[in-house]
Amino acid sequence: MELGLKDKVVLVTGGSKGIGLACARAFALEGAKVAIVSRDPANLARAREQLASEGLQVHLTRADLHEAHGAADIVEEVSSAVGPIDVLINSAGAARRYDPETLDAAAFRATMEAKYFPYIYPQQEVLRRMAERAKADPSAEPGTIVNIIGMGGKMASDIHIAGGAANAALMLATVGLAHYYARYGIRINAINPGATLTERVEEALKLDADKQGVDTAEALARGQAKVPLGRYAKPEEIADVALFLASRRASYVTGAIVPMDGGSTPLI
């Protein structure tokens, strides 16, 4: 299937590992011009080596997206170095998990700063630029945004209450902004992965293992046994759906929240 992503400028936040790196690889394989952002230079270096070994070149940039000015600077830098951004894949935030009895005001605030704002800040800057381009040339192909959020915003978990609240807020922002910016042809969608085999799942497994009094291997086996498809997702599977949502093949899809949890949460 021709996705029409060749030479599109794609910015992937949190693109140096996990689902973000899988998305960067997938878009690069489609011939897109990919820029990845991370605040960790070591992760960026590893991502460059890994992608280069596969014959893929991406633009790397280090930035902290927890501040609005940092997000604005990175969007400007990528736009100048690579070109106006056609696709934004948001995968930068990571919310820490807490035992509910340790949650306090500082934990809730830290979680919003870790997960919510690193999505909102670059999204708002990219949206502003996409809307300006659409106003200047209504015939131009509009941009797209895909937010990789998480099922924690749909299903409450004892150890992910603060992170789930941030996810729920991101889902609302995704749908609300999609409704508004549709007038410019800009599409905004989201993917809600369930447990996915990345470094992030290891943190949750350790907490689950401690809670159940088992080792992490047993916690993984028990967790996967609860999934109707019988396993956790691979990062590449999330990336495939992000490709579709960002492509012209999904030209009439906006404001959608796509669950990817192997059937664990039946939703209507």
User: Residue 187 to residues 75, 90, 133, 139, 142: CA-CA distances in angstroms?
Assistant: 18, 14, 14, 15, 8
- Choose between 49 and 266: higher pLDDT: 49
What SS3 class is residue 179? helix
Strand partners, 148: 191
Residue 154 lies in a domain: yes
- Domain residue limits at 46: 9-194+233-258
Residue 186 lies in a domain: yes
pLDDT of residue 232: 92
> What tokens appear for 73 in the block?
């600077």
Question: What is the domain count for the chain?
Answer: 1
What burial letters (b/e) apply to 85-112, b meaning 16+ CB within 10 Å? Answer: bbbbbbbbbbbebbeeeeeeeeebeebb
The CA distance from 200 to 149, in Å, is 13
Residue 98 lies in a domain: yes
User: What is the CATH number for 113?
Assistant: 3.40.50.720
Residue 228 lies in a domain: no
Residue 170 lies in a domain: yes
Instruction: Supply the pTM of this predicted model.
Output: 0.92
220-246 average pLDDT score: 94
Strand partners, 260: 193
Residue 185 lies in a domain: yes
157-176 average pLDDT score: 89
Residue 216 lies in a domain: no
Query: Would you say residue 168 has pLDDT above 80?
Result: yes
- Give the least confident one: 108-112, 136-140, 183-187, 228-232: 108-112
Residue 211 lies in a domain: no
User: Residue 237 to residues 32, 82, 155, 159, 216: CA-CA distances in angstroms?
Assistant: 18, 27, 21, 25, 23
Of the chain, the percentage scoring pLDDT greater than 70 comes to 99
